Structure 1
Amino acid sequence: MQVTPTPQAPRALIIGAGIAGLACAMRLRVAGYQVSVLERHGTPGGKIRTVPSVAGPIDAGPTVLTMRHVFDDLFALFGERLEDHVRLIKQDVLARHFWPDGNTLDLCHDEERNMGAVRAFAGDHSAAQFLKFSRRARRLFAAFDQPMMQAADPQLATLTSTVLKQPGLIPAMAPLSTLRGLLRSAFDDPRLRQLFGRYATYVGGSPSHAPGLLALIWQAEAAGVWVVEGGMHKLVEAIAALLRAHDVTLRTDADVARIELQGDRVAAVCLGDGTRLPCDVLVHAGDPRALATGALGPGVSHVARVTTRAPRSFSARVLSFAATPSRDDLVHHNVFFQSDPDAEFRDVMAGRVPAQPSCYICALDRGQGRAPPPVERFEIITNAPATDDTTDPEDLTPWLHQITQQMAQFGMTFSPKPTAQTVTTPQAFARMFPGSLGALYGQSPHGMTAALKRPRARTQIPNLYLAGGGTHPGAGVPMATLSARHAVEAILSDQTSMSVSAPTAMRGGMSTG
């Protein structure tokens, strides 16, 4: 479907070409806007980024898709099918989990198979507990999907009403419990508590501080995980190609220095090279804390002020490299746990890089329906605290040695050995994403009402809107993509309201109330 703007079409600028900014561009273009996307880096994608290697580009950010329907809906806006632009491979094994005692556990998308795997791993009682937990997660996801994630402006009153209408939902939520507390009551086996506790890290939190409600994340993953052939950056490339084919301007190396206001409205965006770009609507699809801290000018520093007070989510150290592994039993997603499940979270909460972190290893060339090449691409992620420092540690070699030694204890080595040159630190993330403090998920998810405290799409400035993982409904590729829908629906609703009210005002019918 080709949409050609008229000369009178409103002009929309989008700051940030991450998945939220790109999704906003698609939606605004279909609505008839003239759209330009401004990206400070050399390529679009935001946190969906790569580093080069002898084996090709290696993902250094998100690695899989969940909630596929969000992306099917996005491509359908242009009358396109997602599968015609990228090859998606549904994963049979969602993740393979390793413990220091030599035990492993695979979880897949089939509940009966998962029960059998848990039974073989930890016995009949644990299998029954898993089934109960899985049903709880499914119920929580179904209950909160529409009034929370799908709603543009969720309210506590609406969520309370949802809960009261469903007897039994309150105990399923465990509202006075953390995720760790919920899991202690759900599983007797500490390894299963450790496994499902890691889902708090999906939104940058600790299971000892995040609400029990986050148990619903298991359902998002259990419903299906897809690998994008070639890497997640292929999804970004496909969207960028579609946008260019529909006359959307993608402007890279465009560092926004200031947002210019006239009266109470955004009039233009000024780039660092002095270029001034007028607009009728502006979407900021970066970390909203950049606005609140004045990084884009004093005129917008009153926007998203909550982000200057709220604690930040976790960050990470990300190691991306190409090598030949010593073990051949890896799947796409692999988690190597340490014996003390709480040690790394105590360190991160205290602002320290964990001494003994669990390691998430994405074997990017696995799970693609064919044998991996001799030299494979890998991404290793460990939790780390956010930081206001933008200067990398002088020597990352000790940390890298520690991580490789941990892997060696599992019989996992790589040839050649990875080097510190391809480590992305929280300090590097802080430089890449202004205002973020290196946090990868925006505000901290800790506390029962933390999800309600994220900035929403509308701001105090009538034609300035927010999207991205730092806004509602939160972090992660599907959530950031949903935030774009919320932002554009707000834009179109506000535009309709203005067009309806303008004739009334011209007739002298302006209200004085």
Structure 2
Amino acid sequence: MSRTVVVGAGLAGLAAAMRLAAAGREVTVVEARDVPGGCCGTARTGEYRFDTGPSVLTMPDVLAETFAAAGEDMERWLPLRRLDPYYRLRYHDGSHLDIVPGEEAMIEQVRRLCGAAEAVRYRRFRARLGELFAAEWDSFIDRDMTRLRELARPRALMRLAALGGFRRLDRLVGSHLTDHRLIKAHTFQALYVGLSPRTALGIYAVIAHMDTVGGVYFPRHGGMHAIPQAMAAVAEKAGAQMRYGVRAVRIDKDASGVAAVRLDTGERLAARDVVVACDLPAAHAGLLPEGSGDWRLRRPRYSPSCLVLHFGLDRRLADQAHHTLHFGGRWHSGFAELTSGRPQSDPNILVTYPESDTDAAPAGHATLTALEPAPNLDGGDWGRLAPRLEERLLGRLSDLGYGDLSAAPRLGFDPPAWARLGHSAGTPFALDHRFRQTAWFRPAGAARRVPGLHFAGMYTAPGVGVPPVLISGRLAAERILKAGR
């Protein structure tokens, strides 16, 4: 059998490894860290354990399909629970909106906050979100965009245009809804793709569909890091070899394409296929062989970054949702500040309180995480900004009712810390999703001039987020199996 080496044991690399090993390929996964997970990481301070990567899990069927491709039932390895509410949105005027499961229950939440007329408009808008999702999923999100012809789908493009997918996101949502609070509830997701609602295309309303209609989930045990742990275990069961604490330093090629992967141990792993599932700009800086360059990365436009503070609490919080988004008072100007490389003067803050993750803290204690969007390393003097923004975030949390957390055990990540963890430009959100970095215009999933060299992860299509990176891993595996090198 010809060997496939997967560089990086993040979600994308693990998704590829699970499928390839289950298909009978000889697979070796090389991971520089001591545990699987990549961006979906974990860390400890004292008796407290924190998830250091994504906190929002949507589209669990994509994850279940990954396990099923390896012949396994996800529920056996990774039982999930649906959050209720998915989010609690707290507005600057003191009002709040819970995003809850079920169409009628959600319409009632809208009626309570925004009135009967807006509830009628919301019902129609919710249906439009479903139409957009259906138009995009099979034709663009769940499809390999390595070849240009996959983008040229006239009927699908015409359908998206008719639904408003090529309008600006804020205008699309504003054409259906009138209450500014409800509009914010369905446009803040633009930041997930590194843009403001005024610049993001309407196609990204599908993220609001995933969040507010499809729902948000969480592992019943072990936090979000339980996801890569379970995936790695299934990959090993299928026959993949996991090599932790080992770094790939160079990919060799010969006349037929990929030939081997060199490790920092001095080993040379012969390979006919390689899946690069790590930070792609960093890989282009030395890991990849000659001829694997991609013109799409000549002028990369990176997403903003974030300041994250993880706290260990000596108490549990009453009536606290798993995810609470506190909106600042400056909506459009805040996005403009961030995307131009400046800290937001009145930032939106996501607070995550994983109460059900009881093993993350001692009995009677809990963990809490606050995330504030921030410029990446392309903007701002972080030697000066970091302490000021951290102090401001502590003050804001106190004002929001979380108490004085300055003396609580804590762990922080700012753009320089993200850079030390291997994220280009100090952002864990990769490239933004402007039109010129979307679908076929995003870095390709395969090197055209180096057969056997494939890419997966958030730098490739479909892009950023747990479901997209899982899909990218599946697409890489499918290309390899189809080529049969």
Could you tell me the TM-score, scaled by structure 2's length? 0.91
Q: Using the alignment, how far apart are the partners of 1:305 and 1:356 within structure 2?
A: 37
SS of the residue 1:283 aligns to: strand
Task: Kindly provide the amino acid, as one letter, of the partner of residue 117 in structure 1.
Answer: Q
* CA contact 1:331–1:367 (8 Å) conserved in 2: no
Q: Using the alignment, how far apart are the partners of 2:335 and 2:315 within structure 1?
A: 28
Which residue in 1 is equivalent to 2:422? 433
The one of 473, 478, 490 aligned to 2:479 = 490
The one of 6, 9, 13 aligned to 2:5 = 13
Deviation at 1:137, TM superposition (A): 0.9
The one of 140, 156, 160 aligned to 1:162 = 156
* CA contact 2:341–2:379 (8 Å) conserved in 1: no
Task: Kindly provide the amino acid, as one letter, of the partner of residue 342 in structure 2.
Answer: R
SS of the residue 1:386 aligns to: coil
Task: Kindly provide the amino acid, as one letter, of the partner of residue 75 in structure 1.
Answer: F
Q: Using the alignment, how far apart are the partners of 2:6 and 2:399 within structure 1?
A: 47
Which residue in 1 is equivalent to 2:383? 393
Which residue in 2 is equivalent to 1:313? 303
Structure with greater contact order relative to length (CA < 8 Å, sep ≥ 6): 2
- Residues 72 and 297 of structure 1, relative CA distance in 2, 3 Å threshold: closer
SS of the residue 1:345 aligns to: helix
Which residue in 2 is equivalent to 1:260? 252
Q: Return 337-346 or 239-248, whichever deviates more.
A: 239-248
Which residue in 1 is equivalent to 2:434? 446
* CA contact 1:12–1:36 (8 Å) conserved in 2: yes
- Residue 405 of structure 1 pairs with residue 399 of structure 2: no
- Residues 106 and 325 of structure 1, relative CA distance in 2, 3 Å threshold: farther
Deviation at 1:416, TM superposition (A): 6.3
Which residue in 1 is equivalent to 2:459? 470
Task: Kindly provide the amino acid, as one letter, of the partner of residue 286 in structure 2.
Answer: A
* CA contact 2:195–2:303 (8 Å) conserved in 1: yes
Q: Return 106-115 or 151-160, whichever deviates more.
A: 151-160
* CA contact 2:252–2:259 (8 Å) conserved in 1: yes
Task: Kindly provide the amino acid, as one letter, of the partner of residue 66 in structure 1.
Answer: T
Q: Deviations over 1:201-245 (max 9, x none)?
A: 222322121111111112212112211122011121112222233
SS of the residue 1:92 aligns to: coil
Task: Kindly provide the amino acid, as one letter, of the partner of residue 268 in structure 1.
Answer: A
Q: Deviations over 1:341-379 (max 9, x none)?
A: 1233122112123232111011112498xx995321122
Q: Return 136-145 or 210-219, whichever deviates more.
A: 210-219
* CA contact 2:341–2:378 (8 Å) conserved in 1: no
Which residue in 2 is equivalent to 1:228? 219
Which residue in 1 is equivalent to 2:266? 274
- Residues 390 and 470 of structure 1, relative CA distance in 2, 3 Å threshold: farther
Q: Using the alignment, how far apart are the partners of 2:175 and 2:356 within structure 1?
A: 35
Q: Return 195-204 or 264-273, whichever deviates more.
A: 264-273
Q: Using the alignment, how far apart are the partners of 2:437 and 2:425 within structure 1?
A: 22
Task: Kindly provide the amino acid, as one letter, of the partner of residue 381 in structure 1.
Answer: L
The one of 104, 110, 113 aligned to 1:118 = 110
Deviation at 1:151, TM superposition (A): 1.1
- Residues 448 and 346 of structure 1, relative CA distance in 2, 3 Å threshold: same
Deviation at 1:390, TM superposition (A): 12
Q: Using the alignment, how far apart are the partners of 1:489 and 1:244 within structure 2?
A: 19
Q: Using the alignment, how far apart are the partners of 1:134 and 1:55 within structure 2?
A: 43
The one of 239, 242, 251 aligned to 1:250 = 242
* CA contact 2:354–2:368 (8 Å) conserved in 1: yes
Deviation at 1:17, TM superposition (A): 0.6
- Residues 257 and 372 of structure 1, relative CA distance in 2, 3 Å threshold: closer
Q: Using the alignment, how far apart are the partners of 1:58 and 1:320 within structure 2?
A: 7
SS of the residue 1:173 aligns to: coil
Q: Using the alignment, how far apart are the partners of 1:69 and 1:405 within structure 2?
A: 39
- Residues 35 and 454 of structure 1, relative CA distance in 2, 3 Å threshold: same
Q: Using the alignment, how far apart are the partners of 1:378 and 1:155 within structure 2?
A: 46
The one of 481, 485, 488 aligned to 2:470 = 481
* CA contact 2:342–2:379 (8 Å) conserved in 1: no
SS of the residue 1:433 aligns to: coil
Q: Using the alignment, how far apart are the partners of 1:251 and 1:128 within structure 2?
A: 55
Which residue in 2 is equivalent to 1:507? none
Q: Deviations over 1:266-313 (max 9, x none)?
A: 211122343222211111011322343x2315525x433312323112
Q: Return 137-146 or 180-189, whichever deviates more.
A: 180-189
Q: Using the alignment, how far apart are the partners of 2:123 and 2:363 within structure 1?
A: 37
Q: Map 1:2-151 to 2 at 5 A.
A: 9-151=1-143
* CA contact 1:454–1:472 (8 Å) conserved in 2: yes
What is the count of residue pairs matched by the alignment? 478
Q: Using the alignment, how far apart are the partners of 1:126 and 1:297 within structure 2?
A: 53
Task: Kindly provide the amino acid, as one letter, of the partner of residue 86 in structure 2.
Answer: L
SS of the residue 1:422 aligns to: strand
Q: Using the alignment, how far apart are the partners of 1:257 and 1:271 within structure 2?
A: 5
Q: Using the alignment, how far apart are the partners of 2:271 and 2:436 within structure 1?
A: 39
Q: Deviations over 1:163-184 (max 9, x none)?
A: 43x4xx5342252x32122233
Q: Return 180-189 or 207-216, whichever deviates more.
A: 180-189
Q: Return 354-363 or 438-447, whichever deviates more.
A: 438-447
SS of the residue 2:308 aligns to: strand
Q: Deviations over 1:79-137 (max 9, x none)?
A: 22111112211122110011232211101121111111111111122212222221111
Alignment root-mean-square deviation, CA: 2.5
Report which of the two structures shows the higher radius of gyration computed on alpha carbons.
1
Q: Return 371-380 or 127-136, whichever deviates more.
A: 371-380
The one of 429, 437, 445 aligned to 1:457 = 445
SS of the residue 1:309 aligns to: coil
Query: Which residues of structure 2 form unaligned runs of 5+?
Result: none
- Residue 286 of structure 1 pairs with residue 275 of structure 2: no
Q: Deviations over 1:15-34 (max 9, x none)?
A: 11100001111111012111
Which residue in 1 is equivalent to 2:319? 329
Q: Using the alignment, how far apart are the partners of 1:474 and 1:374 within structure 2?
A: 39
Query: Which residues of structure 1 form unaligned runs of 5+?
Result: 1-8, 499-513
Deviation at 1:393, TM superposition (A): 2.9
Deviation at 1:418, TM superposition (A): 4.5
